[in-house]
């Protein structure tokens, strides 16, 4: 669209706001189980989530943009999770971290919520039990792209190919 056309400023302003939002995400980690260990690993220097402007956790939902649901959610925890989501200001996004948060995992019983999307809308699903930190960073990048483009279609982080031992050795030999 050329400068001066109708809608130029609105379009550009939304694009700039989306750009600013995607690089200043404040996270609310709702960690309940073993997946929490991998979530913590992403904040450590090896994976360094700070590179993506998303290192700052907020333990008040009113100050958070992204709700990370990390681990199994029991039926008793469900109302708490829903309330936290409701307390977050718009725009807000949700990541289901790991198989348990995405679909209940192997806890196929009456005490476990079979996926947090039964309670709140989910933007990005991360498969894995637990997901590797690389998958978590992939999820964050996908979420940032989604924030820039707009829209609320759910995304699933695609699997990565795990290198074989022979491939790792060959790579080391090239160094
Ligand atoms: S997905 Fe696996 S690692 Fe994560 S909370 Fe469930 S059982 Fe634990």
Model pLDDT for residues 6-32, shown as the tens digit of each residue: 555 667 888 888 888 889 899 999 999
Whole-prediction pTM:
0.85
Atom of ligand 1 nearest to the CA of 99: 1
Cα(99) to centroid of ligand 1, in Å? 6
Give distance in angstroms: CA of 128 to centre of ligand 1: 8
Q: Could you give all domains of the chain from N- to C-terminal order, each with its CATH number?
A: 14-174 (3.40.50.12280)
State both tokens at 3.
């400068």
pLDDT of 99 higher than 50: yes
Q: Which of 103-107, 120-124, 157-161 is predicted least confidently?
A: 157-161
Ligand 1 atom nearest residue 106's Cα: 7
Nearest C-alpha to atom 4 of ligand 1 is from which residue?
A: 35
* For ligand 1, atom 2: residue with the closest CA: 129
Q: Which atom of ligand 1 is nearest to the CA of 37?
A: 3
Ligand 1, CB within 6 Å, residue ranges: 33-35, 71-72, 98-100, 105, 129-130
Return mean pLDDT, the chain: 88
Q: How confident is the model at residue 1 (pLDDT cuts 50, 70, 90)?
A: very low
Task: Please choose from 71, 102, 135 the residue to mutate so as to test ligand 1's pocket, defined by most ligand atoms within 8 A of CB.
Answer: 71
């Amino acid at each position: 669209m050329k400068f001066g056309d109708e809608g130029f400023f609105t379009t550009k302003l939304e694009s700039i706001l989306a750009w600013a939002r995607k690089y200043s995400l404040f996270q609310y980690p709702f960690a309940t189980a073993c997946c929490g260990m991998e979530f913590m690993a992403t904040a450590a220097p090896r994976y360094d989530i700070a590179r993506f402007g998303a290192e700052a956790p907020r333990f008040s939902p009113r100050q958070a943009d992204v709700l990370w649901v990390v681990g199994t959610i029991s039926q008793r925890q469900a109302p708490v999770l829903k309330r936290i989501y409701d307390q977050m200001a718009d725009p807000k996004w949700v990541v289901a971290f790991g198989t348990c948060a995405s679909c209940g995992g192997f806890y196929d019983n009456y005490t476990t919520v079979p996926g947090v999307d039964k309670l709140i809308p989910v933007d990005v699903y991360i498969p894995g039990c637990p997901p590797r930190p690389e998958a978590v960073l992939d999820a964050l990048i996908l979420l940032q792209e989604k924030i820039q483009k707009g829209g609320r279609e759910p995304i699933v982080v695609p699997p990565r190919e795990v290198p074989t031992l022979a491939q790792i050795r060959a790579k080391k030999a090239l160094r």
